Amino acid sequence: MLFARVPIAAMGYTLTLHVVADLGRGYGEAGLVGTMTTVGSAVGSPLVGRMIDRCGLRPVVLVCGVVSTAYWVSTPRLPYPVLVCVALVAGMLVVPVSSISRQVLTALTPTELRRSAYSLDSISLEASFMVGPAAGVAVATQVSASVALVGIGVWFAAVSVALWWFNPPVRHEQDVVEGPRPKPRDWLTRRLVATLVIATGAVFCLAGTEIAVLAALRETGEAGWAGVVIIGLCVASIIGGLAHGGVQRSLSLPVLLVLLCLLTIPAGLFAHPWWLLALALFPANLACAPTLASTAEVVSRVAPARVRGEAMGLLDSASRLGAALGSPVVGFTMDHSSAAAGFAAAGLGGLAIASTGLLLQVGRRVSVSSVK
């Protein structure tokens, strides 16, 4: 799964460079292609997860692998209007690496060890985002963006073949999967919806923080240090993930989310020099991997085994929605204010979205208490 996520981490940067450099389009048009891919993934993830529930892993990996490989290998030859349209379909059928990873970990670990397993998964995610973008940009700038895009397609093919060959289990041996499929109203509970909303708020904050970092460093003339700062944030997240997975009892999901957002808000006050900004964001990013791991842990506990693939797909969609909202909202805020305001917008926006989920959880507890 670590290697499977590398091309996913490289997709956005590589595709942007291709649209801007090779097709001669603007960054806004490059962003539209990325948006179409994200929208497609958000719509397709639950559907693909449902197919895993029904048909198993191999048929889904086969179809998604063929589509993903064909899309990325052919991308350098597609005119821009066709690329925009095809990106939506390709996003819907992208290999669902994150949801597959969580399902496999759920199947291979007992309940009491899943927090550790999901923490390692979040650490793996951070590691891939330390490697993927840098590798994609290096190939695109030193060789060509077309070669980088074809390389992503070939990598997707290799990942799909590996998943098909090893065919890891997606259900625990003790999971009960017989009988009719439960209806959505029976398993899409308040707690599950609250968790999905909290995940959206968390990724909104993270996506907004990333673009705010780039804007702040550019504003102070230190854009060349952006990669170092991002790596530092990933290291902080990894440290937090190790601590979260290693303790017997960690902080709850709402507390982690609030810490992530609140500690992000004042970071813009320390934007210069670059190392001070990295230090200012370090405490907030300690909560990054634990927050993402906690959302997966809650979904694995709440969703029945019969629909776990679809539930994990919904979690993937919630995360993609947060990313799709975070970058433009924070970017718009900075266009009309300053880079420092971007960090405040990321934290406050994440809190505003997640507050709906927090209220749902509080309402659920009040209802349970009144029944008792």
Sign (positive or negative) of CA dihedral 15, 17, 23, 26: positive
Higher pLDDT, 135 or 74: 74
Sorted by sequence, the CB contacts under 8 Å of residue 245 that are 6+ apart come out as: 115, 116, 117, 118, 119, 120, 123, 293
Mean pLDDT score, 64-78: 90
What whole-number distance in Å separates Cα of residue 188 and Cα of residue 196? 10
Q: Could you read off the pLDDT of 33-43 as tens digits, one per residue?
A: 877 888 888 88
d(CA 122, CA 295): 11
Nearest alpha carbon to residue 228 among 281, 264, 265, 149: 281
Ordered alpha helix ranges (H), 18-113? 27-55, 57-74, 80-92, 97-108
pLDDT, tens digit (0-9, with 9 covering 90-100), for 1-18: 888 888 888 887 788 778
> Sign of the CA dihedral 179, 183, 189, 192?
positive
Length of the chain: 372
What pLDDT was estimated at residue 324? 79
Its sign, for the CA torsion 6, 12, 16, 18, is positive
**Confidence check: pLDDT of 339 > 80:** no
Averaged pLDDT for residues 77-85 = 88
> Quick one: pLDDT band at residue 124, thresholds 50, 70, 90?
confident
Residue 178: phi and psi, rounded to 5, are -85, 165
Q: How much is the mean pLDDT over the chain?
A: 82
pLDDT band at 369 (very low <50, low <70, confident <90, very high): very low
Can you give the pLDDT at residue 176?
58
Of 96-105, 141-150, 244-253, minimum mean pLDDT range: 244-253
pLDDT at position 363 is 56
| Spatial separation of the C-alpha atoms in residues 161 and 156, rounded to whole Å | 9
| Nearest of 199, 206, 175, 174 to residue 356 by alpha carbon | 199
The pLDDT-based confidence of 348 (bands split at 50, 70, 90) is: very high
Query: Across residues 83-104, what is the average pLDDT?
Result: 86
Residue 223: pLDDT band with limits 50, 70, 90: low
The candidate with the shortest Cα–Cα distance to 5, out of 151, 136, 127, is 127
> The tokens of 81 are what?
């209007």
Find out whether 293 and 121 touch, Cβ atoms under 8 Å: yes
Q: Would the pLDDT of 270 be above 60? A: yes
Instruction: Count CA atoms closer than 13 A to 197's CA, side-chain side.
Output: 20
Max avg pLDDT among 144-148, 258-262, 367-371:
258-262
Residue 181: phi and psi, rounded to 5, are -70, 130
Asked whether the beta carbons of 136 and 14 are under 8 A apart, the reply is yes
Alpha carbons 267 and 141: distance in angstroms, whole number: 31
CB 202 within 8 A of CB 253: no
The one-character DSSP state at 93 is T
The answer to whether the peptide bond before residue 273 is cis (omega within 30 degrees of 0) is yes
- Mean pLDDT comparison of 167-176, 253-262, 327-336, highest-scoring range: 253-262
> 112 pLDDT band (50/70/90 cuts)?
confident
SS3 content of the chain, % helix, strand, coil (to 5): 85, 0, 15
pLDDT for the residue 16 = 75
Where b means 16+ CB within 10 Å and e means fewer, 152-166 reads bbebbbebbeebeee
Lowest mean pLDDT among 137-141, 154-158, 277-281, 346-350: 137-141
The reported pLDDT for the residue numbered 361 is 65
- Of 82-86, 140-144, 145-149, 241-245, the poorest mean pLDDT is in 140-144
pLDDT for the residue 254: 85
